[in-house]
A and B are shown apart, each in its own frame.
Chain A
Amino acid sequence: MDTRNDETQPARLHTIISGTADRLVGTIFLLPTVLALLFLSIFPLIASLYVSLTKFDIALGGFKLTFVGLKNYKDLFTGSEGTHFLGEFAPNTPLTWTVFGLIVIALAIFLARYFLNARISIGGLIGRLMLTLGLGLSSWMLVHTLWNGGRLGTASITLVYVFVGIFFQYILGLGLALLTVQNLPGRRFFRVIFLLPMMITPVGVAYMFRMLTDTSKGPFTPIWQAFGLTDFSWVNNPWSARTAILIGDIWQWTPFMFIVLVAALESQPTEPIEAATVDGANSWQIFRHITWPSIIPVSMTLILIRLIEAFKIVDLPNVMTNGGPGTATQSLTYHAYINWRALDLGASAAVAYMLLFLVTFFSMIFVNLIRQQTVETL
């Protein structure tokens, strides 16, 4: 009796099952995580996109979402929310034309240099065209709202918070880091002290700065009185109110820059610095040619992280100024929050999507910058 068939059939079956199981096991193990990720990350993103195309209303026993197409986005650019979002545009003047003209020339040079480069790719071309267009439009908005009777909208105010805030946070963080890597007495103590602001909840920081900037009953009242500024208030003028918020934000987030830059400075090899010192290089030359190139990649990553985070600022303007005077200190997140509070979920989601677009746009510029700088450094 030929038993080969009897023996091989179970073996073949086992092979098939085993093979199938091997192929599926990865998928099966990954599936819960993928589904969880899809549900928690991707689905809300798509759902909020749909919400941004609808109008929310109360209906009998619940609610209804009415599809309104791009109306919520149109309102942000040309409709009732236009001034709130983009700002009040001042008429063109020779100054605005000059400043904008210079920016256009700079962007044209940037594009021309790319076209003159032999390594042109479709992706690179599209990216640069989008970058040029985005920066051009942002510049147009800023030069028409920053002065001459113009008024900033929540988009421009957010950009001010992000770029001015991060600039000072980085400069101060780097300065403190350079100071505390020196062999100075008490440096360990000050490293801990400098970190404290970062550990306080943003709402706590906001209340603290609200108290500090209160000129009538805050702790600095005697100083204001000594300077004859008893009738002065930080919150009456748009720029002083924004400055107060920026000071609070810079105070809170400088430690983040500081601690990472301390780590970067301490991890650089000492040999090149010793060699430069032996060769007679001064401190500035050592910083410029050795330290700075070595911390550029860390700095870029650091700025990118802060960039993404800074776009979401809301606690400080909400607590310190209630977004005022008028809407002068409202960020995009605050703008979305106000719409959400008014149950205008569609408009709120549309603002949130514009914020997402801005964060992605500026983050991509930075990622490309990091890549470029890293390649150059290496």
Chain B
Amino acid sequence: MKSKNVLLKLLSLMIVSSVLMASCGTPATTAPEAATDAPEATEAPATETADKMYEGVTIDILTFVGPQVAEPLQRRGPDFTALTGATVNIITVPNSELYQKVLTDAVSGTNSYDGYLFAPSWIVDFAPAGLIEDLTPYVEKDAALEWDDVAPFFRDFNSYGGKVYSIPLDGDMHMVYYRIDSLEEAGLEPPKTWDDYLAVAKALHGKDLNGDGEGDYGSCISKAPGQQSYWWIWSIAAPYIQSQGSNQGPFFNTKDMTPLVNNEAFKRALEVYKETGLYGPPDETNQGVGDSRGLFLSGRCALTMDWGDIGPLAIDAENSKVVDKTGAIQNPGSTEVLDWETGKLVACDATTCPYAVDGVNHAPFASFGGWAGAVNAAVDQKQKDATYAFFSYMAQPAQSNADVVVGKTGYNPFRISQFENKQAWVDAGFSQVAAEQYLSGIEQSLNSPNMAADLRIPKNHEYIQVELDRILAEYIAGNLTTDEAAQQLYDSWEAITEEADREAQLTFYKGTLGQK
């Protein structure tokens, strides 16, 4: 029996090794480490590291291909080396491959990377499997990190089971940006609801917005398959589905874990998302966020939805044609919300939309949650310490405050002080008005009692980035009707839930919402 088990383990190891060798060209050398208990930090975090305590240590960090996000790591790596002696290598892969790269590296025992800069929503997959280090002991001893200055939402989003597993370097929140000059000229108000958004986009579509004599676009929102359309749809869907506060959650019914996608609310969101394409560039179905962002900055779009990046990018006179012409607001909402019992949309009133403002229910969506650094649990203690020290160094106010005001970093504010100290933004080139408007857009979202957090349960990658992405692509391409898309998504999410164990998933989901 024992030899059979050994044989089975060997066979499994060889199979995964061969797959990895064939796909990555990286030889997998050892079997996965035996189940690891959460290792403990042996020393105080090395963030005040003038004594070069990591001399001779080389750390490899995996993240997504730049220029954003990887750029600050690459730029600040040599500074960290000068301080601590540790050499920092930044390895980048396309965003769509990052999850798979991290996981295959860790579960195969290859452990090529000491740390990962990834989506904090993934820690629910990695932490229970013992693949990433519990950073709580480090954080508790790390005064320079100023953990209490990190906004509570991001502190919570980077924790699992009460323990900190990743250090935020970025705070992500979708917002709508609009062209102040174009809307004023047309006598239009910034959109409060998604219906308003469509109306404004329709009114300005085809108008010359950048003075080049050619017609431009009413709305630019990325829709390419395999990119990030799964986040955009939830930004639209959240206010239609969630109205009773942040702990209600927009993804699943907390009674039985059935998906909240085959109902009038999600179908309306699908229709809105698709209709924005009517007022966008002709090849929008093949555009990623970089493309739509580029179009907005070149003055070709009246509206767009994006993370905080556009604010700092818009003030860069060298690359932006919308300096001081860019307004930012929290995501539009809805005057109708889902009745969870009937699956129908009902009008907002004091009961159905207790947090509505002027009759509009907003549910700003913290899509992705921001880039965060996690430490590989299987590497040597010295490597772990140096890797944590590097993430801590990047997140400390001295570095972070400078990085979040620069557009090319891809990092957005996540510290309370970054919202309060508006002078830093003015010093970076924002006008006083632009700084206040940009930060108030984010603050409105962060302070909303009905903010919707991204999905953080095991297999969230499969729910969102595989099934939703595929079905959404088919829907946008016109291969599925709205009803078919909603039904297919419902069925595929149900299948994942069943396979993963419904009760366990429900417990996870309710846990992330703060429900019991």
Residues of A within 8 A of B (CB): 43-44, 47-48, 50-51, 58-65, 80, 84, 88, 151, 214-216, 230-236, 238, 321-328, 338, 340-345, 349
Contacts and interface: CB of A to CB of B under 8 A. Distances in A.
A236 B22 contact: no
B18 A326 contact: no
B225 A322 contact: yes
A232 B282 contact: yes
A342 B282 contact: no
B451 interface: no
Interface in B226-244: 226-227
A336 B333 CA distance: 39
Q: Which residue of A61, A80, A214, A321 has the most chain B CB atoms within 10 A of its CB atom?
A: A61
22 contacts: A43-B18, A44-B19, A48-B22, A58-B125, A59-B129, A61-B33, A61-B35, A63-B32, A63-B107, A63-B108, A65-B16, A216-B282, A233-B281, A238-B477, A322-B226, A324-B285, A326-B477, A327-B474, A342-B100, A342-B466, A343-B103, A349-B19
A345 B282 CA distance: 36
A51 B19 contact: yes
Given A61-B33, A236-B282, A236-B283, A341 B22 contact: no
B12 interface: yes
Interface string B76-117: 000000000000000000001101100110011100000000
A344 to B, nearest CB: 8
B28 to A, nearest CB: 12
Given A233-B286, A324-B286, A341 B97 contact: yes
Contact of A341 (B12, B100, B225, B479): B100
Given A151-B479, A216-B283, A343-B103, A65 B129 contact: no
Most B Cβ at <10 Å: residue of A65, A216, A340: A216
Interface in B442-486: 461-462, 465-466, 470, 473-479
A229 to B, nearest CB: 9
Contact of B129 (A62, A238, A323): A62
Q: Which interface residue of B103, B128, B282, B473 has the most chain A CB atoms within 10 A?
A: B282
A324 B19 contact: no
Given A61-B129, A62-B33, A324 B16 contact: no
Interface in B387-424: none
A61 B477 CA distance: 41
A84 B465 CA distance: 16
Contact of A326 (B32, B109, B479, B495): B479
A217 to B, nearest CB: 9
Contacts of B125: 58
B34 interface: yes
Contacts of A232: 282
A58 B107 contact: yes
A238 B479 CA distance: 10
Contacts of B22: 44, 48
A58 B129 contact: yes
> Taking chain B's interface residues, is the majority helix, strand, or loop, or is none over half, making it mixed?
helix
9 smallest beta-carbon distances between A and B, as pairs: A62-B32, A326-B477, A325-B477, A61-B35, A233-B283, A233-B282, A235-B286, A342-B466, A63-B107
A60 B129 CA distance: 4
Given A61-B32, A323-B225, A47 B15 contact: yes
Interface in B193-238: 215, 224-227
Contacts of B11: 50
B492 interface: yes
B107 A62 contact: yes
Contacts of A47: 14-15, 18-19
B300 to A, nearest CB: 9
B23 interface: yes
A342 B462 contact: yes
B15 A50 contact: yes
Contacts of A230: 215, 282
Contact of A321 (B12, B130, B286): B286
B36 interface: yes
A61 B130 contact: yes
Contacts of B96: 341
Nearest to B16: A63
B14 to A, nearest CB: 6
A326 B130 contact: no
Nearest to B474: A326
Interface in B21-46: 21-23, 31-36
Contact of B35 (A44, A58, A60, A236): A60
Given A44-B22, A62-B109, A321-B286, A88 B34 contact: no
Contact of B23 (A84, A235, A238, A340): A340
Given A232-B282, A233-B283, A341-B97, A326 B14 contact: no
Contacts of B14: 43, 47
B19 A48 contact: yes
A349 B16 CA distance: 12
A48 B128 CA distance: 28
Nearest to A325: B477
Given A44-B19, A323-B226, A342-B462, 16 more contacts: A43-B14, A64-B12, A215-B282, A215-B283, A230-B215, A233-B281, A233-B282, A235-B286, A322-B226, A324-B477, A326-B473, A327-B470, A327-B479, A338-B226, A342-B466, A345-B16
Nearest to B281: A216
A341 B461 CA distance: 10
Contacts of B103: 58, 343
A214 B295 CA distance: 14
A363 B226 CA distance: 32
Contacts of B32: 61-63
